[in-house]
Amino acid sequence: MQGFKQESFLADEKNAADKNPKNFSNSCQVVSFFSPKGKSGRTTLIVNLALALVRITGEPVGIIDADTHFADMDAFLNIDPQSTIVEALRDLSYLKPGTLLDYFEEAVPNVYVLCGAKTPQQAAYVEPEGLTQLIKMARSSFRYVLVDMAPGFNPISIAVAEASQNVFLTAMADNAFEVQHLRRAMEIFESLDNYQQRVGCIISRLQPDMHHARELENQIGCPVMLLPNEYMLCAEAANNGRMALDVGPGSPLTAQIERLAQKLCPEGR
């Protein structure tokens, strides 16, 4: 019986490796997204960025929904996951990079999603140390790993930021309160090594304008990108569970996100 288990496990490992034969451990870029408060457009941004990265590089992108409050990546991408981050963390000590891939759902070609906990009660099983190990293991399977974090500072968000090559603060609109929250968050992220190169800010529902972006950079203390208002388009797509299909590369929003993707992978393909 023991021999059968070992043979079965090795077969699963081989099947997972066949899905994605490359090893990206040394080239994978981990990008995390944080917001001081909720309603910042993080999920919309992450989904569209993943699609843009795949279009540019042709390489696999992994999304980890680590929002321990109300994870919603499954609804955005119309996924009914067999496993979530809770099961992946539960089984982590038994997994290898190839078998971890089985816990991800392929939402569209080359975009894989590890969905978040199905209930806030399950989120108690998501702890900083385990999540950091999971991200490290996932690096071998993806050229990019995008991590969606819950709003507000907590041990999980700090651990994920430390494990990321890039951290983006996100907000919606630029009223005085939002800018103040972003500035306070930036003061905390300044403790990261090389934070000037690692931390940026993305503010949605604003017409891209270089002069306005520079003004906000001076106030917040990091580079700022502005995303145009496509609220109705994104809301309708999300409500239909068709975010990856209904918000295509032709919209002003995705065109701006494509520019962000180009900055993350200037080598293109």
The answer to whether residue 61 scores a pLDDT higher than 70 is: yes
3-state secondary structure of 227: strand
* Rounded Cα gap, residues 150 and 158, in angstroms: 11
What is the predicted pLDDT for the residue at 43?
Answer: 86
What is the predicted pLDDT for the residue at 19?
Answer: 55
Residue 146 pLDDT level (bands cut at 50, 70, 90): very high
The answer to whether residue 173 scores a pLDDT higher than 80 is: no
The amino acid at residue 162 is E
Which is more confident, 12 or 174? 174
CATH superfamily label, 25-263: P-loop containing nucleotide triphosphate hydrolases (3.40.50.300)
Which is more confident, 103 or 254? 103
| Mean pLDDT, all residues of the chain | 83
Which is more confident, 71 or 215? 215
The answer to whether residue 58 scores a pLDDT higher than 90 is: yes
* Rounded Cα gap, residues 182 and 220, in angstroms: 6
